[in-house]
Structure 1
């Protein structure tokens, strides 16, 4: 009788699949990846992949869990206080650059109960970080401590948005210093966190039906995700039937493209206008004006920032190229300004710092309001300046857009 051949799975096959899935979801988005493509990267067949993970949604869940497990290990108590915490997080960020994208974009597609469980786990990790920071900064309130800890995660998570990578040792050192400066930041003198007082508003003109659709679409795409929003829901938000949306936009993707283009034009115009109208021609003044304008825009257009980060891959190819081109050119302007102010930065460091600033501001206005009656604008601006490596300005106008926009 012939002996039966026993086929043994290679050790670590499940980990290999998760690593491949994390990379592909990060690069192409959940909807742009098939199980067959993940299997091919690992060197197995799709049926073999299904022996490890029963479905693509399960694979996504386990991929997100595996990345969050790395974060959990990075925040565990270690010697060195805040410096040790930043060192652990920096090493994890360098090795797991997909985490930011998976959490910000793809985890939204998980069922509500799974998302809630993952958020609880993440909040527990932030509390662990907060305990370390509070021990070194007892002057801060508890919400300020947590605000800064979330901001560090945003700054490190920004590595998902680019591929700039200095030599490993220098990279970790840069991220460690960046995180340490951020956790040491405080609002500038005269800009302490204070009760929010809405400023006067000019009554806006009634928007056209097209403008109303664009605004409603951006809000709904941000809150629910592009694939979970129907034209019926968008139409209902402005008081028309779903099919009537097609009188204004050929497809839902065309509506998304128009909404993003409209917001890009406004963002570019506001930043250029602020720099042009800034006091003097000094680079530091120009950068300060640009930062103030970006903070104001972010406070008024948080839905756009969320959609820009999470839904760009849902655009048609030509519209996606336009969005990517804008981001590349926008980044180039900021990097140029920052290097004029900090000539000791090379291009890679300046890019890393600018991306970190964008991430913590974008997340800050969308996810981290202060307690009732508190305005986090001063703390957010201080954190943004810290990751750029800028000293606090001698006089810093209150960023009203974060309050009454």
Structure 2
């Protein structure tokens, strides 16, 4: 019997699907070409006949999802069709959100810039459809709503278990419709993220290093930050970093621990102090948005660098995220008893994704009313009244 080899195009699609799933689950740095080849059932040399290396694999995997998204948006003639296109890609290419938000920053600079242009073009297509239905919307407001819808759908990528596809598509379509219907009229200007106070007591060197590490690891990536750069950020030599931390990995772990302690203290404290579930959900939302505006680098590093931790520290970080999510899911179900756990998880993941992106997505992150905007959009995603 003659064994037919699959066509090259079919084999490439299989490789990209395996690569996207491995990158999504383990992180780009933790996956080798040999791992991808084993997942496909071929040898590493055979894999290199199709792709030159990991950067090309990541690039092509991201482009596959974005091309489908762009095609769906070009055909969309209503916000309902926009929601259907976003939901179909979020479900059909579930790793895409993680790859775009976490791993794509590791691509070569030219490809990163091209990816950003593609996403801007998608958002522009969405905004055109939205403003045709809501001509009263100013351009910046339409843009913020469209980026928030994109981020909310990407939240599905961070769920550990995939929900039933048809149900997930239907719910994400509803979430997009709710986001695109939000009114941003009369938003209130909030105090911006707190700046350093002149004359304030200087922080201990260890605390300065923790703050600098979160910022640099998020913006450049763990592997692209040297101890010399960490030391220079706080005015010391690179070797002096080791007086405070045994290794760069220990510094990463300590910086994430310190940040999540603050997150838990601020958000859980606001929830616990509120009278009743509805007030607690509103207080928690306000606290989370406020924390995110002041700590965007931590939220970015939490998503992008957790895989770089040693196994015990990684488990602690994952356990914290699971407990934090559970608190919100249970609270939302108290406020909306008709929501089952699956729907509540999708809504809460969407909330976290749109806030985490919103505080880091320029030029919208510079809006003086950003906090109020994100709270309004967050309520829409959770399905609760203001």
Do the two structures share a fold, i.e. TM-score over 0.5?
Answer: yes
1:160-199 to structure 2, matched below 5 A, reads 160-187=157-184, 191-192=186-187, 194=189
Indicate yes or no: 2:67 matched with 1:69: yes
Map of 1:222 onto structure 2: 218
| Counterparts of 1:199 and 1:221, CA distance in 2 | 21
Specify the SS of the correspondent of 2:74.
Answer: coil
1:166 to partner: Cα distance: 3.9
Shift of residue 67 of structure 1?
Answer: 2.2
Q: What is the CA deviation profile of residues 306-361 of structure 1, one whole-angstrom value per residue up to 9, with x for unaligned ones?
A: 00010000000000000001001111111111100000000111111011000000
Bigger-Rg structure (1/2):
1
Number of residue pairs the alignment of both structures matches: 383
> Cα gap change, 1:96/1:57 in structure 2, threshold over 3 Å: closer, same or farther?
same
**Residue 134 (1) aligns with residue 128 (2):** no
Answering whether residue 271 of structure 2 is matched by residue 269 of structure 1, we say no
Change (3 A) 1:123 1:180: same
Q: CA deviation at 1:84?
A: 1.2
Q: Give 3-state SS (helix, strand or coil) of 1:351's partner.
A: helix
Match of 1:289 among 266, 283, 293: 283
1:365 maps to 2:362? no
Contact (CA 8 Å) 1:164, 1:352: kept in 2 or not?
no
Contact 1:83/1:180, CA 8 A, preserved across alignment:
yes
Structure 2: unaligned runs, 5 residues or longer: none
- Which structure 1 segments of 5+ residues have no match? 393-405
SS of the counterpart of 1:105? Answer: helix
Matches within 5 A, 1:2-401: 9-11=6-8, 12-79=10-77, 81-187=78-184, 191-192=186-187, 194=189, 204-278=200-274, 281-370=275-364, 374-392=368-386
Q: Structure 2 vs 1, CA of residues 283 and 6 (structure 1 numbering), >3 Å: closer, same or farther?
A: closer
Structure 1 residue 371, shift from structure 2 partner: 8.6
Distance 1:333 1:238 in 2: 36
The 8 Å contact of residues 298 and 362 in structure 1, kept in 2 or not, is answered as yes
SS of 1:75's partner is helix
Question: With structure 1 as the length reference, what TM-score do the two structures score?
Answer: 0.90
Distance 2:355 2:301 in 1: 15
How far apart, CA to CA, are the structure 1 residues paired with 2:45 and 2:190?
58
Contact (CA 8 Å) 1:165, 1:348: kept in 2 or not?
no
| Mapped contact 1:29–1:106 kept (Cα < 8 A) | yes
